[in-house]
Amino acid sequence: GPKVLQIPSHQIIDMGQMVTLNCDPVSNHLYFYWYKQILGQQMEFLVNFYNGKVMEKSKLFKDQFSVERPDGSYFTLKIQPTALEDSAVYFCASSLGRKSGNTLYFGEGSRLIVV
């Protein structure tokens, strides 16, 4: 089936540093998402993105977070500066749109450890 690729799969970073998580969504998809999962628990919605803009975001999407997809390349999540509580697995997802019921296709996740 369609594949969403995430780079890196793992990253360890010092608190206060910047990190960028990259996502290569399914090629014809229009909507992009980031979710945060801690210790295999609940998938927490962070943000969704369409047509170059943030559509919706949650309270977890702090001011230190930003997303972009310059020129149709990677869909990125940037955290600057990082905090200890940002340690989690971040999942990128993409979907074709509302007509498909927003069926989400997920990547394998990027495990971020902030020390």
Partner 1 sequence: TQTVSQSDAHVTVFEGDSVELRCNYSYGGSIYLSWYIQHHGHGLQFLLKYYSGNPVVQGVNGFEAEFSKSDSSFHLRKASVHWSDSAVYFCAVRSSNTNKVVFGTGTRLQVLP
Q: Give ∠ CA 42-27-107 in degrees, rounded to 5.
A: 25
Contact 69, 87 (CB under 8 A): no
- Residues within window 77-106 making contact with partner 1, judged by CB under 8 A: 91, 93, 95, 98, 101-106
Closest CB to partner 1 among residues 33, 75: 33
Specify the amino acid at residue 29: H
Whether omega before 81 lies within 30 degrees of 0, making that bond cis, reads yes
Closest CB to partner 1 among residues 12, 15: 12
* Residue spans of beta strands (DSSP E) within the chain: 5-7, 10-13, 19-24, 31-37, 43-50, 53-57, 65-68, 75-79, 88-95, 105-106, 110-114
State the nearest-atom distance from the C-beta of 29 to partner 1, in Å.
12
Q: Binding marks (x or -) toward partner 1, 28..67, rule CB under 8 A? A: ---x-x-x----xxxx-x--x-x----xx-----------
25 binds partner 1 (CB under 8 A): no
The contact set with partner 1 (CB under 8 A) reads 4, 31, 33, 35, 40-43, 45, 48, 50, 55-56, 91, 93, 95, 98, 101-109
